[in-house]
């Protein structure tokens, strides 16, 4: 029995956990992989306050985790299968069969990379198709790679990959990039990054591993081939909400709808971070939402 169970140990979940455990509320974070969430996929975080020289995603994750544990917070490795509601109690069931009863759940399960859903993508995942430049970039030393997407993540990944690869193609479906202007400038000034706009990937091809992409020009619909050694897919995020089985209100893309107190449509269930529908997806906003969820969860517990 824990007063609060937090699903997900990214910046939102850890911030909520730090707040609650500092206030002596027994709090358990259930995390599928390692604490840090998408922060772990970022080499250097430059827009989180307090670190004038930037901080690695790994180090910031470790610091937040240490702070949570220091105040008595507990972390359990496991994947949530479902949430069951019984009167005022909530039960969190893990895939290994374990169950935890709690008064309050804070969902901070974040988001994962969206798939392109093109032929060859699944087949070559781990054989040249990657969703994480930080994890796999070093395998492509002096090779030629492509990044698909035009948002902040795609541009950051292209810049990161240029540290290893000889050439990085940035393939985006429109003429205009979505990424922040300063990132666009940095990529445009990088001699190793070549923009391929407006193109989509139709197919990923190869024998044992990825060898080339079939691309389609979005203006004239012409098809071309692009020889590459690897492709990094950075085409946005999908919320990690499979375990909810439709019990919470979401938008059409599956992002959880919350009010300004981070309350969902079920009393005692809060949500925060990249899993919610909102306007800004940043580490600092995730932390702030985690703190808000914790604050109102604490008020809810006081009134039980």
- Answer for which of 66, 174, 267, 299 binds ligand NAP (CB under 6 A) is 174
Report d(CA 262, CA 61) in Å as an integer.
22
Residue recorded with tokens 């969820």: 293
Check if 35 is active-site: no
* Residue length of the chain: 304
Report d(CA 147, CA 50) in Å as an integer.
31
Check if 135 is active-site: yes
Residue with nearest beta carbon to ligand NAP: 151
77-136 residues in contact with ligand NAP (CB under 6 A) are 116
The answer to whether residues 12 and 272 touch, using CB atoms and an 8 Å cutoff, is yes
Q: Is residue 148 a contact residue for ligand NAP (CB under 6 A)?
A: yes
Report d(CA 4, CA 18) in Å as an integer.
12
Residue recorded with tokens 């020009």: 217
- Pick the closer one to ligand NAP by CB: 78 or 236: 236
Q: Is residue 185 a contact residue for ligand NAP (CB under 6 A)?
A: no
User: Looking only at Cα atoms, what is the longest distance across the chain?
Assistant: 64
- Pick the closer one to ligand NAP by CB: 90 or 113: 113
- Answer for which of 4, 83, 154, 168 binds ligand NAP (CB under 6 A) is 154
- Answer for which of 152, 186, 211, 298 binds ligand NAP (CB under 6 A) is 152
Q: Is residue 159 a contact residue for ligand NAP (CB under 6 A)?
A: no
Shortest CA distance to 29 belongs to which of 42, 10, 51, 44?
A: 10
Shortest reach from residue 141's CB to ligand NAP, in Å: 24
Q: Is residue 203 a contact residue for ligand NAP (CB under 6 A)?
A: no
44-63 residues in contact with ligand NAP (CB under 6 A) are 47
Residue 216: CA count within 13 A, CB half-sphere? 8
Query: Of the listed pieces 62-70, 91-99, 151-159, 186-194, which binds ligand NAP according to CB under 6 A?
Result: 151-159
Q: Which residues pair with 199 in a beta bridge?
A: 217
Shortest CA distance to 228 belongs to which of 208, 209, 249?
A: 209
Shortest reach from residue 244's CB to ligand NAP, in Å: 21
Catalytic residue selected from 35, 103, 136, 287: 136
Shortest reach from residue 263's CB to ligand NAP, in Å: 23
- Answer for which of 31, 103, 136, 156 binds ligand NAP (CB under 6 A) is 156
Report d(CA 4, CA 94) in Å as an integer.
16
Check if 287 is active-site: no
Other CB atoms closer than 10 Å to residue 238's CB: what's the count? 14
- Cβ burial of 49 (10 Å; 0-12, 13-18, 19+) is exposed
231-250 residues in contact with ligand NAP (CB under 6 A) are 234-237
Task: List the catalytic residues.
Answer: 132, 135-136
**Site residues, ligand NAP (CB under 6 A):** 47, 116, 148-154, 156, 172-174, 178, 200, 234-237, 281-282
């Amino acid at each position: 029995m824990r007063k609060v169970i937090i699903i997900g140990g990214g910046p939102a979940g850890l911030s909520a956990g730090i707040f609650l455990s500092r206030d002596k509320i027994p709090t358990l974070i259930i995390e599928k992989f390692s604490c840090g969430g998408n922060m772990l996929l970022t080499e250097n975080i430059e827009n989180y306050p307090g670190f004038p020289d930037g901080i690695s995603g790994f180090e910031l994750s470790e610091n937040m985790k240490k702070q949570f544990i220091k105040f008595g917070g507990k972390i359990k490795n496991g994947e949530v299968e479902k949430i069951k509601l019984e009167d005022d109690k909530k039960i969190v069931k893990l895939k290994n069969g374990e169950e935890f009863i709690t008064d309050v759940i804070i969902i901070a399960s974040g988001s994962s990379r969206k798939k392109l859903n093109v032929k060859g993508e699944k087949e070559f995942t781990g054989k040249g198709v990657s969703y994480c430049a930080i994890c796999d970039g070093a395998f492509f030393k002096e090779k030629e790679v492509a990044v698909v997407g035009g948002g902040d993540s795609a541009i950051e990944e292209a810049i990161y990959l240029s540290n290893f690869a000889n050439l990085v193609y940035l393939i985006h479906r429109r003429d205009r990039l979505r990424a922040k202007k300063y990132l666009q400038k940095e990529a445009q000034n990088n001699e190793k990054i070549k923009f391929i706009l407006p193109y989509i990937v139709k197919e990923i091809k190869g024998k044992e591993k990825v060898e080339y992409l079939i691309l389609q020009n979005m203006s004239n619909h012409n098809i071309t081939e692009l020889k590459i050694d690897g492709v990094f897919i950075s085409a946005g995020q999908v919320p990690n909400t499979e375990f909810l089985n439709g019990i919470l209100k979401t938008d059409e893309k599956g992002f959880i709808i919350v009010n300004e107190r981070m309350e969902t449509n079920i009393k005692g269930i809060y949500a925060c971070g990249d899993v919610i529908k909102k306007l800004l997806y940043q580490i600092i906003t995730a932390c702030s939402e985690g703190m808000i969820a914790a604050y109102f969860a604490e008020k809810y517990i006081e009134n039980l």
